[in-house]
Amino acid sequence: MVRIALAEAFGVRRGPKTAAAEAAFAPPRIVFRRRYANVVELKRRFGDDPGEASRAIRIAAADGIPAAQTVWGQLLLDGELVVRDPVAAFRAFSIAADRGDLEALNMLGRCHEHGWGVPADQDRAADCFRRAAARGHVWAKVNLAQILMRRGLIEDRMRCYELFRSAVAAGNLKAKNSLARFLEEGWIGERDPAGAARLYREAAEEGDHWAQFNLATMLLSQNAHAEALEWLTRAVAVSDNGFRRRVAPMLLAQSRPAVRNLGLDALARCAAAGDPRDIEAYRAALAARSSDGLHLHLGARSNPAQTAGASMASTLERGASFDQRSTFSGTWERDDT
């Protein structure tokens, strides 16, 4: 039975009652020990019938098991294995969070933060993250720090630093990159470029694309162009389109042709997904390269690129460079993908 296989694969505790139920051919009450099972893991473990695995999770969620409700909510949010339904995902997270599941509480915060299945509300998001972080949830600490960073209040800096440091101690890769930003910019004391470079390199070597980008930024400032280009190439190749849209303007604004070409590559990879806005943004960048040296003015044009590439356009028009990263609030968005 797939439900029994699912139980075993995701670390289910099988007590006497469960064993007795299985012996009697009654549906086992699956108790998830694992808090989050992503779609890739489900497909890997249940490649023969991942749909049946998702149905087993749905049944376990309907049985009232909080961790199963959290996994079911994630499947609904991702829209893989099941039809995407952010509203139902939010409802599943809410039920599981009310029953004490910390991952669900963290995901509830993400829903409030990004408007997934509910109107976006940063205050409610922060409250969810704060409650989960207080109980030790590592990603909630990172998410809370990110929200506080974007608010840009000086008095929040030490709190953010402590949250990131705690998350780094727990092995969180994104927090390591964020902690490096603190050291690089000197947001709570003297700048520590050597310490920042060490953390960036550690996170970059572990695969964090923002750390790869930030390390490349420092290397470019030190005229280590060849190594910087290697890290930038890797970051653009392995990252997601959200990252690519954000870094494209900074890459395109550089004077070095190889770096500008990476900016075009980033936009090309976005366009390959088929979104008309990304396609138009890529075409505009190509046209700008051939006509006026990458002085893009997408923001002044009334076309699909205006919405997809609005932040890209405005950044390009300001003549952005890799060095425009030091403010505490606005450019912090750059790290939040």
Over 60: is that where the pLDDT of 327 sits?
no
* Residue 174 within any structural domain of the chain: no
Residue 306 has pLDDT above 50, yes or no: no
Question: Which of 16-25, 169-178, 234-243, 312-321 shows the lowest per-residue confidence on average (mean pLDDT)?
Answer: 312-321
pLDDT of amino acid 266? 97
pLDDT of residue 93: 98
Report yes or no on 322 lying in a domain: no
**What's the pLDDT tens digit per position in 226-280?**
999 999 999 999 999 999 999 999 999 998 999 999 999 999 999 999 999 999 9
Whether residue 84 lies inside any domain: the answer is yes
Q: How many domains does the chain have?
A: 1
What span, in angstroms and rounded, lies between the C-alpha atoms of 329 and 156?
A: 11
Contact by Cβ (8 Å): 193, 181: no
What is the pLDDT, as a whole number, of residue 39? 56
CB atoms < 10 A from the CB of 276, how many?
Answer: 12
Question: Is 83 among the domain residues?
Answer: yes
Model pLDDT for residues 99-129, shown as the tens digit of each residue:
999 999 999 999 999 999 999 999 999 999 9
One-letter amino acid for residue 330 of the chain: G
pTM exceeds 0.85, yes or no: no
Task: List the one residue out of 36, 27, 25, 110 whose CA is nearest residue 66.
Answer: 36
Domain assignment present for residue 15? The answer is yes
Query: Does 11 or 169 have the greater pLDDT score?
Result: 169
Q: What is the DSSP string of 231-295?
A: HHHHHHHHS-HHHHHHHHHHHHTSSSHHHHHHHHHHHHHHHTTT-HHHHHHHHHHHHHHHHHTT-
One-character DSSP codes across 104-138: HHHHHHHHHHHTSSS---HHHHHHHHHHHHHTT-H
- Domain span at residue 36 reads 1-114
**Structure-token match 């000086």, residue found:** 154
The amino acid that residue 323 corresponds to is D
CATH number at residue 56: 1.25.40
pLDDT of residue 60: 86
In a domain, 210, yes or no: no
Which residues have a Cβ under 8 Å from the Cβ of 317 and sit 6 or more positions away? 296, 297, 299
Q: Is the pLDDT of residue 43 over 70?
A: no
Domain contains 326: no
Q: How confident is the model at residue 53 (pLDDT cuts 50, 70, 90)?
A: confident
73 found inside a domain: yes
